[in-house]
Amino acid sequence: MKALLVGDIGGTNARFALWRDNDLHAVQVLATADYSSPEQAIEAYLHEQGIARGGVSDVCLSVAGPVDGDDFRFTNNHWRLNRTAFCNTLQAQRLLLLNDFSAMALGMTRLKPGEFVEVCPGQADQARPALIIGPGTGLGVGTLLNLNKHWMALPGEGGHVDLPVGNAREAAIHQHIQGQIGHVSAETVLSGGGLVRLYQAICALDGAVAQHKTPAQITEAALGGEPRALAVIEQFSRFLGRVAGNNVLTLGARGGVYIVGGVIPRFVELFLRSGFATSFADKGCMSGYFPGVPVWLVTAEFSGLLGAGVALQQVLAH
């Protein structure tokens, strides 16, 4: 029997695994910079697993960006992909491409105890949509629907909505950033690079000289108790609350909110003590909509890969 392969491809790393018995096996992480194409990286992975060319029947790859047509260009690395050429090169029967946050959404269906932390208490309504939102290299937003034993993930570009403003301080931050770059999307602030931009804006408004240049430096300073870095983390968390709350109202997402991505897990305790929950529910006459909507911070390592496996499993079952 031929193997099934799943992959989760980001800007820096590509994660691959075999999908067997409805679970991941032989997970391996490869640097995208070391390979000229996804086919070359996959062949290297399969060689490590002792699988010859033609030994894989079906492949599902989670990729960043809109998936449409036969050609796909990765938005955050140098790779390109053509479905037909890909299948011919690897002698595979089928290639399923999945938006990365659709895969991430499907991965939420496979969370295990210890892979998430409660941020806001509540009871998920399984008949309603769930929101998946994640600050990382960018800001990903996805929607998960439970359709009677079948999961559907809706792709979108929700990270590029306008950054919401809730008070005078936030308006001043927005105005400062807008003066530098023009349109201010949610991703402009709610991402790794956005954390630096937010820090620079706050320093400028406070008349202070920026001391830190990377997200890691800002996070480290905040964890060490530096007041301005702490203020940046607090404001970042509040902006995330506003964006997440807007999405909950738009989607009717009483199925809960899953916060994913690589940024928040670097300062979990600060985030849990932040004003996220207050800003999340700060919706005027609709603030009463939010009590009971659960929010979780996800710390699972391979949710995108698992989601690719869930998607492939569902396709093969129909």
Together in a domain, 229 and 124: yes
Would residue 26 count as lying in a domain?
yes
Which token pair is 128?
């309603």
Which pLDDT score is estimated for 66? 76
Counting the structural domains of the chain, the total is: 2
Together in a domain, 90 and 185: no
Would residue 231 count as lying in a domain?
yes
Together in a domain, 125 and 265: yes
Together in a domain, 165 and 295: yes
Cα gap 59→295, rounded to integer Å: 32
Together in a domain, 76 and 145: no
Together in a domain, 37 and 140: no
Phi, psi values for residue 178, rounded to 5°: -60, -40
Q: What is the DSSP string of 111-158?
A: --TTSEEEEE-B---TTS-EEEEEESSSEEEEEEEE-SS-EEEE---G
Together in a domain, 285 and 308: no
* CATH code (residue 45): 3.30.420.40
* CATH code (residue 128): 3.40.367.20
Provide the domain limits for residue 65: 3-99+302-316
Together in a domain, 202 and 259: yes
Q: Which residues are annotated as a binding site?
A: 7-12
| Residue 121 contacts residue 280 (beta carbons within 8 Å) | no
Together in a domain, 291 and 311: no
Together in a domain, 132 and 188: yes
Q: Which residues are annotated as a binding site for ATP?
A: 7-12
Together in a domain, 50 and 65: yes
Together in a domain, 178 and 309: no
Which token pair is 313?
């499993």
Would residue 104 count as lying in a domain?
no
Residues of the chain falling short of pLDDT 70: none
